Amino acid sequence: MTSLLDLLRARRLLAIVRGDDPAAALRSIDVLAEEGVTLMEVSLSGADALTVIRKAAAALGADVRLGAGTVLTARDAVAARDAGATFVVTPGLGDGVAEALRLGLPVLAGALTPTEVIAAVAQGAAAVKLFPASGGGVPYLRALRDPFPAVPFVPVGGVGLDSVRDYLAAGAVAVGVGSPLLGDAPSGGDLAALRRRARAALDQAGPR
């Protein structure tokens, strides 16, 4: 199976699905897959997220990789694995990182400061989720890459569709986009608008 880092480098866009309507979240995942977004995470902070992961993992084709986001604890990591997630995403360096790695799940680990970046790499993260990216924006990513040129960064948190290309140009291996991409679709909103945003996001991410 292709590694998470290789997938991030190749696909360049990670869609983050979080909603309060599980059926709508599943429809949103289907729309994203139909439009060619093939790397997604379902945040555990969404309604009945484990069921969403379980159903989506069973329904999606082999080309779509589905992960669990907002993994905080060891219990979260186990539940994500059991639901069918193939990777986990964390907002920081909690117990979920070590447990996911113990279970054989690659981790996109959240970090913001240089000290946290060093810790994420030392723990074995496949890539570092720069979170929240909005705290410093593209200039902060550029500044971090000076001391950490080999670290694969994935900015998340406040990344808009109009800034995807800028983050990639600044050296991110991929970007994670949540509400600016999903909008209200995971809560029962406009799927046609989601399709349009998905196409725009893929265009911003460039050729894969």
Q: For residue 23, what are the contacts with CB-CB under 8 A and spacing of at least 6?
A: none
* Phi then psi dihedrals of residue 186, to 5 deg: -70, -5
Are 168 and 131 in contact by the 8 Å Cβ rule? The answer is no
DSSP 158: S
Q: What is the largest CA-CA distance in the chain?
A: 44
Give the residue among 203, 198, 179 at the shortest CA–CA distance from 16.
179
DSSP 70: S
Please confirm, yes or no, whether 55 is among the known catalytic residues: no
CA 35 to each of CA 28, 32, 41, 88, 206: distance values in angstroms, whole numbers, following the listed order: 11, 5, 16, 23, 14
From the list 55, 99, 116, 129, the catalytic residue is: 129
Residue 75 in tokens: 């219990």
Question: Residues of 179-189 as b/e, b for ≥16 C-beta within 10 angstroms?
Answer: ebbbbbbbbeb
Are 169 and 141 in contact by the 8 Å Cβ rule? The answer is no
From the list 41, 55, 99, 116, the catalytic residue is: 41
Please confirm, yes or no, whether 129 is among the known catalytic residues: yes
Give catalytic residue positions.
41, 129
